Amino acid sequence: MTRMIPKDSAWLERESAASLRRLLPRIEARFAARTEPGDWEAYVERLGRHFPRLFSRLHALYGGNYDFFYHLESILASATQMWLDRPGELKALDAMREVDPRWYQSSRMVGAMCYVDLFAGDLEGVRERIPYLTELGITYLHLMPVFRTPRGDNDGGYAVTSYREVNPDLGTMEDLAQLATELRHHGISLVLDFIFNHTSDEHEWAQRALAGEEPYRDYYRMFPDREMPDAFERSMGEIFPEDHPGAFTYVNRIKKWVWTTFNTFQWDLNYENPEVFNRMLEEMLFLANQGVEILRLDAVAFLWKRLGTDCQNLPEAHWLIQAFNAIVNIVAPAVVFKSEAIVHPDEVSKYVSLEECPLSYNPEFMALLWDALATRDVRVLNHAMRRRFALPEGCAWVNYARCHDDIGWAFSNSDVEAVGFDADEHRRFLTQFFIGRYEGSFGRGQPFQQNPLTGDARVSGTCASLCGLELALEQSVDAEVELAVRRILLMHGLIVAMGGIPLIYLGDEIGTLNDYGYDQDPGKAGDTRWLHRPAFDWARAADRSDAETVVGRIYQGILRLIQLRQQNPAFMRAETDITDTGNPHVFGFFRTHDQHSVFVLANFTEDQQRLEARRLRQMGMRKTMVDLFAGRTLTATQELVMEPYQFMVLARAV
Ligand code: GLC
């Protein structure tokens, strides 16, 4: 099917207004009597506001279908039904967020992520751990997928069998909704994944497709022979090459090749079928109605496929997300999308806008932090962030040192080459460095998804192990332990101080090391990402209040960073002014709000570094400054001396 070429905007406006005029009375007749007139009016007002956007995206995607109007009506009917089902407390939250729509830009926002079972056993366990989260200042909690999945390997929950059922080992959907409420009452927004590129092969739709029900075969992308898969694969890369080469899996029972971008048991949904869009919007709003405030849109780059392309980041993928966004704005305006696009930086930023995803992971910043640690050189980091950090008004990055996934070298070749490195060689060096195969390297990672053809790999490992803590403790060299602790604080200092929302992988704040035991578990063996997903060690966490311990030093350092961010007015707005410090080993940026300004500095080497005082003064600093992180007053007459891996937040002394 060929997509409709978007018509000119005047035509779209007329057509959208005419469609709404026809649709509204029909929707009203079906649903209006089931709610208060005032509420209905407010709903219709929002519908009117966002419908033109919804219409234009759906028209671009499905306008060529002869029954487009029928689909439009059923999409609106589903949305309206989900709005009627939305609990009163969440409608109150909607109203609150409508008057404060940029709530997620507050400097109070600090994110954390975890697996429910590994962090606290089950949902009830997470509830009991709320005090730990509030102690740390967390206001955003991303729970890794909690849904029903196949037993055994299920890609860490990313193969969903039912979006409406919680994995029984973790609790029930009621427990989840209650947890969302309780978190909210403690000032914490619940973040969940919307895994909408694929379902597991055990999902009811997949099962019905397997049983031979034709309409459900159309929910996925299936081919009778290798002709089309071969044609597609000629221009596509491989995502999980170790798991299965290519993007298709032969399913013997139905004698078809099924599109499976990730694992063989994750079937890609077919969004060319408007019915799939309709069904998935119901699943999405169902989650919103449980009290989820931020939806992490999983694997956005892969939503749409077209022959002759790499089947990533196609315009239709953006239209789909924008259509979902318009629906959320109508039905559940408290909900915000965050994009998970781990692709080329030019493409990452295309998902970020108020109309699409106001929030996005910042995979390039993450990768370049590790790059600077390995090279002891901040030039690529500085160059790339100066070019790419700015986002449209109202949007924000989610900055992280690492997450549940591997670390991929998701920077642009041009940014690396601008500094004089060869991009491919540089990526290989970084992988070698962090898997400990480079002389003098402190990293203790493992390769993830090594491509047998190209030798390319990404890296798995916890923040602490990659920062050298594992090696230093093994060698029992105090000076090395000290350097590793400083690296961990430096990484966290930067994600906390940079504009946007910092995201901490729970466990990193207590310096958790790699878990080599994952290989014993048949559901995890072979996927090195489990190396950095250990069970949270509560016995270790008990040391956090003892500043004499390694755990205490890391934890208290991170706590201080968070407090600094939440309390200093300079961090109020997301803008970040990245500067050239004049020293290629020291990364620096300003955060400014009104008359408040701080200068954040990070020394990426194990040596002392010096910054010229004259230059600092040109940047507006004075001779006497306060380092808010260390709580010390400094005087820089000739130069400012930074200790190995020192992280500073400088303010002018009063
Ligand atoms: C995302 C998840 C990753 C998962 C993939 C497929 O990239 O972060 O863990 O394997 O999507 O769902």
Residues 499-533: tens digit of each pLDDT = 999 999 999 999 999 999 999 999 899 899 999 99
Give, using CA atoms, the residue closest to atom 10 of ligand 1: 155
pLDDT category at 622 given cuts 50, 70, 90 is confident
- Count of CB atoms situated within 10 Å of the CB of 223: 17
Ligand 1 centroid–CA 298 distance in Å is: 7
| Termini Cα distance of the chain | 67
What does the pLDDT look like over 197-222, one tens digit per residue?
A: 999 999 999 999 999 999 999 999 99
Give, using CA atoms, the residue closest to atom 4 of ligand 1: 158
Q: What is the DSSP string of 115-126?
A: -HHHHHSSHHHH
CATH number 3.30.465.10 is the correct assignment for the domain at 198-268: no
Instruction: Output the pLDDT for position 240.
Output: 72
Extended beta strands in 409-530, E state? 446-448, 458-460, 501-505
Q: Are 158 and 195 in contact (CB under 8 A)?
A: yes
Instruction: List every span in the chain annotated with CATH 3.90.400.10.
Output: 198-268
Residues near 14 by beta carbon (within 8 Å), at least 6 away in sequence: none
d(CA 494, CA 324): 33
Ligand 1 centroid–CA 586 distance in Å is: 33
Class of domain 103-195+275-567 as given by CATH: alpha beta
What does the pLDDT look like over 470-503, one tens digit per residue?
A: 999 999 999 999 999 999 999 999 999 999 999 9
Q: Which atom of ligand 1 is nearest to the CA of 405?
A: 9
Give, using CA atoms, the residue closest to atom 8 of ligand 1: 405
Mutate to test the pocket of ligand 1, among 197, 262, 339 (most ligand atoms within 8 A of CB): 262
Which residues form the pocket of ligand 1, taking CB atoms under 6 Å from any ligand atom?
155-156, 158, 195, 262, 298-299, 340, 405
Q: Which atom of ligand 1 is nearest to the CA of 342?
A: 7
CA 320 vs. chain centroid, Å, equals 18
Q: What is the DSSP string of 581-600?
A: -S-TTEEEEEEEETTEEEEE
d(CA 450, CA 427): 13
Ligand 1 centroid–CA 34 distance in Å is: 40
Q: Which atom of ligand 1 is nearest to the CA of 198?
A: 12
Q: Which atom of ligand 1 is nearest to the CA of 159?
A: 12
d(CA 581, CA 597): 16
d(CA 365, CA 223): 39
Q: How far is CA 303 from CA 141, 239, 297, 330, 405, in A?
A: 26, 14, 11, 23, 19
Provide the b/e sequence for 178-211 (b: ≥16 CB within 10 Å): bbbeebbeeebbbbbbbbbbbbbbbbebbeebbe
Q: Which atom of ligand 1 is nearest to the CA of 158?
A: 12
55 closest CA partner among 375, 289, 327, 240: 327
Q: Which atom of ligand 1 is nearest to the CA of 197?
A: 12
What does the pLDDT look like over 113-162, one tens digit per residue?
A: 999 999 999 999 999 999 999 999 999 999 999 999 999 889 999 999 99
Give, using CA atoms, the residue closest to atom 3 of ligand 1: 405
Ligand 1 centroid–CA 157 distance in Å is: 9
Ligand 1 centroid–CA 340 distance in Å is: 9
> Cα angle vertex 348, ends 259, 395, to 5°?
125
Mutate to test the pocket of ligand 1, among 158, 302, 312, 404 (most ligand atoms within 8 A of CB): 158
**422 classed as catalytic:** no
Ligand 1 centroid–CA 114 distance in Å is: 14
d(CA 220, CA 280): 13
Q: What would the mean pLDDT of 556-583 be, rounded to a whole number?
A: 94
Kindly state the tokens that stand for 232.
């597609």
pLDDT category at 649 given cuts 50, 70, 90 is very high
411: left (phi over 0), alpha (psi -120 to 50) or beta: beta
**Of these residues, 182, 298, 310, 580, which one is catalytic?**
298
Please determine, for residue 2, whether its predicted confidence score (pLDDT) is greater than 80. Answer: no
**218 classed as catalytic:** no
Instruction: Output the pLDDT for position 243.
Output: 67
Instruction: List every span in the chain annotated with CATH 3.20.20.80.
Output: 103-195+275-567
- In the block, tokens 């509560």 appear at 538
CA atoms within 13 A on the CB side of 364: 25
Instruction: Output the pLDDT for position 7.
Output: 66
pLDDT category at 4 given cuts 50, 70, 90 is low
Ligand 1 centroid–CA 299 distance in Å is: 6
CATH pick for 570-652 out of 2.60.40.1180, 2.40.160.20, 1.10.260.40, 3.20.20.70? 2.60.40.1180
d(CA 357, CA 287): 17
DSSP 407: B
Separate counts of helices (H) and strands (E) for the chain: 24, 25
Pairing between β-strand 111-114 and β-strand 140-143 as defined by DSSP bridges: parallel
- In the block, tokens 């940014």 appear at 415
**Of these residues, 340, 371, 480, 509, which one is catalytic?**
340
Instruction: Output the pLDDT for position 456.
Output: 81
Q: What is the mean pLDDT of the chain?
A: 95
Ligand 1 centroid–CA 397 distance in Å is: 19
Give, using CA atoms, the residue closest to atom 7 of ligand 1: 299
Mutate to test the pocket of ligand 1, among 300, 405, 503, 524 (most ligand atoms within 8 A of CB): 405
DSSP 401: S
Instruction: List every span in the chain annotated with CATH 2.60.40.1180.
Output: 570-652
Q: Are 590 and 575 in contact (CB under 8 A)?
A: no
Give, using CA atoms, the residue closest to atom 12 of ligand 1: 158
